A and B are shown apart, each in its own frame.
Chain A
Amino acid sequence: MHTLDTHSIAPGINLTCINTDKFKTGCMAINLIGSLKRGAASSAALLPRVLRRGTAELPDMESIAWALDDLYGARIEPIVRKKGEMHCIGFYADFVDDRYIPGSGNVLEKTASLMGSMLLSPAMEGGLLRRDYIESEKKNLIDDIRAAINDKRGYAIDRLIEEMCAGEAFGVNRLGDEQEARDITPESLTARYREFLEDAYVEVLYCGAADSERVRDALLPMLQSLPRRADATLPATEIILSPRNGSVARITEKLDVTQGKLAIGFRMGKAMMKDLDSAAMMIFNAIYGAGVTSKLFTNVRERLALCYYAGSMVDKQKGIMIVSSGVDFGNVEIALDEIMAQLKNVQNGDITDFEFSSAKRSAITSIKATMDRPAALMDFYFDSRVTAVPYDPEELCDRVEALTPERIVEVAADIMADTVYFLEGLDSGDAGDDSGDYDSGDGGDDESGDGMGDAGDDESGDGMGDAGGIEHGGAGGFAGLNNGSASGSGSGASVLYRRNGGS
C-alpha cells in the first residue's frame, strides 16, 4: 500500500510524495511543462540533454558519471514527453534505497542535489550554455529524429499523426524537426532555458520509502531557488471532434519494406465533450483493439490471419485513436475493411459478455500492477496531476468495475476515421492508391517517437525473445515512463474544443 502527500511549494510548483516501502529503489522526477509549439519543440527536447552534460561543479560527463557510480549506480535521465499538446521536459532519477546499502548515507539527498544542479546551475561559458555541449547534443538529437525511420511500425504512426494533425500543435513531433534543431544557437537555447525556468508549470514527484518531510527537505532548496516570473498554468490541448471535410484522407508512401504498415487515425468525437470518462475509454480500447481478447486481435490476426499485429491505442488527452497493423501489401484493403467493421460492431453494441469481462479483468490487472512498479506508480500520479483526473489506482479500478456495455457504446458512438496511412514496399504495385483528397506531404522529415509510438505494443502475444541479441542501453529505467501506463491520460479542465468540417 502507499500513501500520498501533495504540497504546493509556490504558485505553479507542486510536489507529490508517494510513500511506500515495497521497493528496493526510490525514484524522483522533475517535470517542466510548457506548450508544444511548432518551431520551439527541438529546443525544448534539446534542453535536458544539454543540461545533463555538466554542472558548474561537475562540468563534464566523466565527473557526472563518477558521481552517479559513487551513488551505487543512481541514474538521472532526461525527460522529453508529449502529453496531449503539453511538452514536458526535465529529469527522471532513480536510486537504490538506503536500507539496502549499510553506511551508504543520504543517496536520496545527494541524487536530488545533483538533479537540482543540472537544472539550476548548468555548466556555462560567458553567461550562455556551452557551445560544445550544444553542438554535440544537437547532432545526437538530429540522429534521433532521423532514426525514426528505422522502426517502420512507429514511423507509420508518426507519419499518420503529422498528416492528420498537420494544422494542430499535436502534429508537432516530441523532438521537433531537423531544420529546427539545426538552427539552435547558444543564445537561443539559453533564452529557451530561462523561459522554461520562469514560466513552466512544474510538477515534482517522488516515490519510495522516505517520508515526505525528508523528501521535501531534500528538494526544497532547489525548488525555492527557481526564478519565477508569473503564475504558471497548465497549457491547454485543442480537441478536434470530427474529421476534416467529413471524409477520410488516404495517404500511401513507399519505403523498402517487405511487410506493409497500416496506421489509421480516428477522432473520438462527442465522448470528449464533457466529464471525460477515462475508465470507459480504457475498456472501449481493450474491447476493440488492445490485448489478445480484443476484436482486432481475435478477428484481424487470429480468425482471418491477415496480419502479424493489429492493435489500437487511445490518447485520451487529445481525443484520438490510432490503429496500427502489419499486413501483406495485397491484403491492405481487406484488413482495412475488417478494422472498420469491428469498430462498427462495438458501436452497434455487438459486445459479448466474454469480451466485456475480459477487457475489465485485463484493465484491472494492469492498473493494480501499476502499483507494483515505482516508475509506473509515479507516472500514474503525474498523469492524474496534469490531466485533472483525480483518481487513485483503487478508485480507477472501482470505476472500471462499475461500467456497463451501454456506457462503452456511448463512448464509441461518435468515433470516426480521419486519416488512413499506408507504408508499402518499393515494388508493390498493387496496393491501393485509390484515394487522394489529401496530398501525401513532403515525406522528408522523418520524425520520431511521439509517446504513442510503442503504447499498444503488447498485444502480439508472443515474443521473439532475445533473438535480436545486443541490448541497446540508454535510458533503460526510464522506459516505464513512456510506455503508456494503465492510467493513460484523462482530459482536464484546460482543453479547447473545435468541431471540424461543419458537421
Chain B
Amino acid sequence: MTHKEYPKIGEELYCGRLPNGLSIYVAPKRGFNKYYAHFATDYGGADRRFELSGNWIDTPAGVAHFLEHKMFEMKYGDALTKLSANGADPNAYTSTDITAYHFECTEKFAENLETLLEFVSTPYFIEKSIEKERGIIGQEILMGEDDPDYCIYYNLMKALFRHNPLRDSVAGTLASIEEISAETLYDCHKVFYNPSNMVLCVAGDVDAGEVMEIAERVLPKEPGPVPGRDYGQKEGLEPVTDRVTAAMDVSMPVFIAGCKSEPVEDGPGYLRNELVSGLALDIMAGHSSKLYIRLYGEGLISNDFSASFDAAAGVAYTMFGGETNEPERVFGEVVKEIERLSEGGADAALFERIKKAAIGSQIRSFNSFEAICSGLAGGHFRGFDAYEAGEALASIGLDDVTKFFRERLVPANMAMSIITPRG
C-alpha cells in the first residue's frame, strides 16, 4: 500500500490494489467515533449495452438499480437487516454511472465490512423475490412520477439527447422492469461486479492493513475483465427540441435549462474540468454573482436557483434553473450573462474571491466521510486523485474559466424543461 500525506489539509491516505484487481483507499480519521465504508462498481443506469466475451448485449432500462435492490438478499436473509442489527446504518444508491453500497457505524467495523463485501459479491436471485421487488420498484417509479424534480430532469434529458441512455430514468419504467429476470441479474452481476471493476473506500480511525486483509479474505480471488460499454451513436451538440413543458401540482413554475457540450475524457483533466466548471458557474450564477443578486433582488428567482455541470455516459452538459414565475425571462437573462462573460471574460477580482470561497469549500468537504469516500471512488473510476483537488484548484486561471463559457455554454446547444402549475 502506498501512503501519502497532505499536511496542508491535515489528511493522509493509503492506496492499494489486491491481486484480484480491487482498488482500495483508506482515509484514516483519528479521534472520530464513526467508520464509513463505500463499496462501488463502475456501473450505473446508463450502462445498458456492453460487451461479454466478444458479444454485445442489450439490457432493459433499470437493471443496475434493480440489482442494487436485490443484492441485499442473501441465503441467510436480508443483509440490510444484518448490518442494521449490528448497529450499522447501511444504504445504497444507483446513479447514471455508479452503483454504491455503503454503511456508517461506530462499533464492530471489521464485522460490518465483511458483511458488506460478502453480500455485494454474492449473487443470489430467486424468481419469487424478484417478483416482489418488481412491485416495490414499481411503487418507487410511480413516486418519482409525482415528483416535479424528477420529471423536470428527465424531460430535459429527453429534450437534449436523441439516443443517449441518460434519457431514461435510472430506475427504468414499469414496462422495462417487466423484462428483468433472474438471468439478467446474474449476467449483469458477473460482468460489472468483478473486483477489477470496483473500488472500496474507507474513512475512520482504522488500520489500512486490516482493511486490505479483510477484503482479500472475503472477496473472490480471480480478477475479471473491465467491460466495454456502448452509449449509442455519438450525440451532436444540438438538442432534440429547445422547449419541453409539463403541468403538475406545483405552486409555482420551475425550470431547468441544459446545454450540451463535448464529452470529457477520463484522467486528471476530468478533475480540472470539474473544478473549472464549479468556478465558472459560481461566477455566472452563484449566490454572490451579479446576475443572481440582481434577479433575486427583482424577485425573479429564489435561493433555490443553482447551476451544475456533469459529464457521464459519453456526454457532457451544464444545467441551471430554479423556481420562477417567468422562466423565459430568467433564461434570457442567463443567456445574456453567458454572452457577456464569453466575450469579455469574468472580472478578475470576482474570480479571485470566488476561488477563495472554493478553497474554503474544498477544505470543508473533508469533514464529511461520505464526501471523502464518494469523491475517492468517483475519482478512481474517472482516473484522477480526488485529494489533488486543492492543488489543481490553485493552478486554475481566469482564462480557463472564460474558455469554459465559450466552449461549454453555447446558446444554440441549449434546451429548457419547464413545469407549470396545473389548472
C-alpha gap A474/B287 in the complex (Å):
9
Known: A96-B363, A328-B139, A464-B170. A140 touches B132 (CB 8 A): no
Known: A147-B251, A326-B143, A465-B170. A369 touches B106 (CB 8 A): yes
Q: Sample 11 A-B pairs with CB under 8 A, ordered by A number.
A: A61-B297, A62-B288, A94-B364, A140-B302, A147-B251, A358-B85, A362-B84, A362-B87, A462-B93, A465-B95, A467-B95
Interface residues on A, range: 35 or more
Q: DSSP class of B's interface residues: helix, strand, loop or mixed?
A: mixed
Known: A139-B299, A305-B132, A369-B104. A73 touches B139 (CB 8 A): no
B14 at the interface (CB under 8 A from A): no
Find out whether the CB atom of A100 lies under 8 angstroms from the CB atom of B170. Answer: no
C-alpha gap A301/B360 in the complex (Å):
42
Among B32, B100, B306, B353, the residue within 8 A (CB) of A470 is B306
Among A1, A68, A364, the residue within 8 A (CB) of B31 is A1
A437 at the interface (CB under 8 A from B): no
Against A, the Cβ 8 Å flags (1 = close, 0 = not) of B81-107 are 100111111111111101010001111
Among A72, A301, A467, A473, the residue within 8 A (CB) of B171 is A467
Q: How far is the CB of A486 from chain B (nearest CB, A)?
A: 11
Interface residues of A in 23-70 (CB under 8 A from B): 23-25, 60-62, 65-66, 68-70
Find out whether the CB atom of A374 lies under 8 angstroms from the CB atom of B367. Answer: yes
B250 at the interface (CB under 8 A from A): yes
Interface residues of B in 8-36 (CB under 8 A from A): 8-10, 31-34
Q: How far is the CB of B205 from chain A (nearest CB, A)?
A: 10
Besides A150-B148, A365-B89, 13 other A-B contacts (C-beta < 8 A)? A24-B363, A65-B287, A70-B356, A96-B360, A100-B10, A143-B323, A305-B132, A361-B85, A364-B107, A461-B90, A465-B98, A468-B149, A470-B256
C-alpha gap A96/B171 in the complex (Å):
38
C-alpha gap A148/B150 in the complex (Å):
16
10 tightest A-B CB contacts, nearest first: A65-B288, A72-B360, A361-B87, A73-B357, A465-B93, A73-B360, A146-B251, A463-B93, A308-B139, A368-B106
Q: How far is the CB of A101 from chain B (nearest CB, A)?
A: 7
Find out whether the CB atom of A69 lies under 8 angstroms from the CB atom of B356. Answer: yes
B125 at the interface (CB under 8 A from A): no
B353: chain A residues within 8 A (beta carbon): 66, 69-70
Find out whether the CB atom of A362 lies under 8 angstroms from the CB atom of B89. Answer: yes
Find out whether the CB atom of A293 lies under 8 angstroms from the CB atom of B303. Answer: no
Find out whether the CB atom of A24 lies under 8 angstroms from the CB atom of B366. Answer: yes
Known: A22-B31, A139-B299. A308 touches B356 (CB 8 A): no
In the complex, the chain A residue whose C-beta lies closest to that of B104 is: A369
A307 at the interface (CB under 8 A from B): yes
Among A22, A257, A366, the residue within 8 A (CB) of B32 is A22
Among B32, B248, B288, the residue within 8 A (CB) of A69 is B288
B321: chain A residues within 8 A (beta carbon): 470
B residues whose Cβ falls under 8 Å from a Cβ of A: 8-10, 31-34, 45, 65, 68-69, 78, 80-81, 84-96, 98, 100, 104-107, 132, 135-136, 139-140, 142-150, 153, 156, 169-171, 248-252, 256, 287-288, 290, 293, 296-297, 299, 302-306, 308, 310, 319-323, 353-354, 356-361, 363-364, 366-367, 369, 422
Q: How far is the CB of B327 from chain A (nearest CB, A)?
A: 14
Find out whether the CB atom of A258 lies under 8 angstroms from the CB atom of B360. Answer: no
In the complex, the chain B residue whose C-beta lies closest to that of A148 is: B251
Find out whether the CB atom of A73 lies under 8 angstroms from the CB atom of B33. Answer: no
Find out whether the CB atom of B308 lies under 8 angstroms from the CB atom of A470. Answer: yes
B297: chain A residues within 8 A (beta carbon): 61, 136
Most buried by B among A73, A99, A458: A73
Most buried by B among A362, A373, A463, A466: A466
Q: How far is the CB of A225 from chain B (nearest CB, A)?
A: 28
Most buried by A among B248, B357, B358: B357
Find out whether the CB atom of B361 lies under 8 angstroms from the CB atom of A257. Answer: no
Among A307, A369, A462, A472, the residue within 8 A (CB) of B69 is A462
Q: How far is the CB of B261 from chain A (nearest CB, A)?
A: 16
C-alpha gap A366/B103 in the complex (Å):
12
Interface residues of A in 403-459 (CB under 8 A from B): 446, 458
Find out whether the CB atom of B319 lies under 8 angstroms from the CB atom of A470. Answer: yes
In the complex, the chain A residue whose C-beta lies closest to that of B254 is: A150
C-alpha gap A475/B304 in the complex (Å):
9
A323 at the interface (CB under 8 A from B): no
Q: How far is the CB of B68 from chain A (nearest CB, A)?
A: 7
Find out whether the CB atom of B299 lies under 8 angstroms from the CB atom of A467. Answer: no
C-alpha gap A364/B85 in the complex (Å):
12
A62: chain B residues within 8 A (beta carbon): 288, 290, 293
B323: chain A residues within 8 A (beta carbon): 143, 147
In the complex, the chain A residue whose C-beta lies closest to that of B298 is: A136
